[in-house]
Structure 1
Amino acid sequence: MVESSNPEPTARQDGSRYALSNLFRTSMLPRLALIGVVLLALAGAFAATAGWLSPQRLTPEKIVARFEEYNGVHPGFRRNHAKGVCVSGVFESSGEGAAISRASLFRPDASVPVFGRFALAGGNPFMADSPAAVRSLALNFALPDRELWRTGMNDIPVFPVKDAQGFYDFLAATRPDPKTGKPDPAKMEAFLKAHPEAPAALKLITGRQMAEGFADATYNSLNAFEFVDAHGTETPVRWSVMPVDPPKPDAAPEEGENYLFDALAGELESAPLRWRLVATVGEPGDSTSDPTIPWPDGRRKVTLGTLTLDRVEDEEHGPCRDVTFDPLILPDGIASSDDQILSARSAAYAVSFREREGETKEPSAVEIANPGSDAK
């Protein structure tokens, strides 16, 4: 054994240690107890947020699981908007947006690279294209100073429900019955009674003017956001990308399961496609929390700039496959609103991304001839 170099404690030292020990008990123990209570409260809050203490609470995992129940499990693909292709191009600012947002891409003469993804709503990557399919356009803007702006838009005018629970119930109510191939009328009736905002929203969605394809469709943010100017003033907005060329008249569906994507690839091979990015400015009384309610016609519109897409690639070779188009990835000058659908989308996208990242990557659902070649 190695001897200790410290001498034996004296009685006086023992007394001092006893006094210090006593002081520690009287002064520190309550403080430690308080810290313990705080930590326990934080743990409880985290557990509640995660749904651990409330099994009936809706979580992003449950939402993703509901998509899988509806569409089946397709490893390696997104749980929604599973069928898609990558596109890329550039956004050129008009300078008009600088009056209501300090975001750098809205400055006069700003030009930033963009990549994105055209897709169909639904979790089956091998579904056949159809004229009634909801089409989406997701975009990633690469701003200076490594800032990003990501947005996912759809060609419908409003969202069918006002909150995450409503969307979860909507998926259950509209799931086709295996025997009939159609939703159960009783379930749909119960859903509409439980979510009174849905009938009017669904009427607007089903009554919208259908574009012929991806290229001539208008895509809407659906959710409201806040633009923040150089002085910190917030302005509620919803945005859309509108085709520069007028929509083509409706045409009979072409043959082929991928006819919408084939047409898009053909158009991009012929010439670049252009859209105007337009912000609709909300006024007092316009709902920013409920995406089922359209803002009145006549609201001020600000043309933020022009989006030009000139390249299309399949997902295996393009830049969009391993990206989540989280609507809350926002640059300085754009902020979230009080619409709870935004946080629900963000959380569900993260779960979907995490699941598919751990799965074997399958070949692209839509193949593009000569992937990676420049569009003419």
Structure 2
Amino acid sequence: MLKRTPLFELYAKYGGKTVDFGGWELPVQFSSILEEHHAVRNNAGLFDVSHMGEVLIKGPDAEKVIQYLCTNDSASMQKNQAIYTAMCYPSGGIVDDLLIYKIEEHEYLLVINASNIDKDVDWIVSQAKGDVTIENQSDRIAQLALQGPKAEAILQKLTSSDLSGITFFHFRQDVDIAGVKTLVSRTGYTGEDGFELYVDALDACTLWEKILEAGKEEGVLPCGLGARDTLRFEARLPLYGQELDKDISPLEAGIGFAVKVAKEEDFIGKEALVRQKQEGVSRKIVGIEMVGRGIPRNGYSVYASGSSEEDEAIGYITSGTQSPTLKKNLGLALIQTDFASVGTQVEVEVRGKRVEAITVKTPFYKR
């Protein structure tokens, strides 16, 4: 039986076509992936991301636990600030990537990936020490994401609170949005300005419909997983299970900015990551642009240019698509560092045939 979010009952009303996404029945699109993608780049799009997990950690030792679990440094966080981080295994491989929200002095909300909720909670509980309580609130909290250049103008219609005062990676609690008590966070997964909205699961449908009604003039569209993936891909935002997993370190994945090996506190995976920083990584995620015809897809092998049939692959595609914004066939690939410099010619095996490609700068798109 597939899990459903509190908004499931509204999908059909807006034309949602659902798929199995990591055990959840979620909309891949409402109108079309292209239309929704362009709506977010030019106007605004509204996503149901209530499948994401939320874990509350609070108590006198909450910060110590966060510091031990996570690669980023939460010591300087202020109340109502968020940071991006990873949790790692001792090997340096990634348990998950997540956001940390500082709710109060000794209270943090971790927002984790839907497919990892049970695994993450088990990991957190098994590693936590000291005076803390850990509460999985995933079933009680719904999350909507309003993304795009017109997101603020739309949401501002529904509240008397000045949203322009919420800066990037900060949030405000208990904001009245159309009568719904909301945690409003200036974060997102699309490469555009926008907000992620955390509400009681019982209020999710009301808020969804209020936002779509308020944003009609601005061209807001309900959006599904398809556009969410093409948008995050163009902005080079990693996806767990593709750019990130237990066998890929944050340094290999290109999220080294979220690894603070200099922080005083020890953290899980620190020794392995310090060693990687000192010695350099043997492989890394790079951007790929196809020169020949073909779209690079997840799992396709990448070879050195001009290599023979007997030569081993130098890596593989982690994500790839035809970019709706740039109209190019692009990919992200985990390849040997020797071939990772921008402008290196490589070959991608597309349906049994090697096709010419070149490594390029990322992100592919930046607003």
TM-score (norm 2): 0.25
Bigger Cα Rg:
1
Q: Which has the higher helix share?
A: 1
Q: Which has the higher strand share?
A: 2
Higher relative contact order (CA 8 A, sep 6+): 1
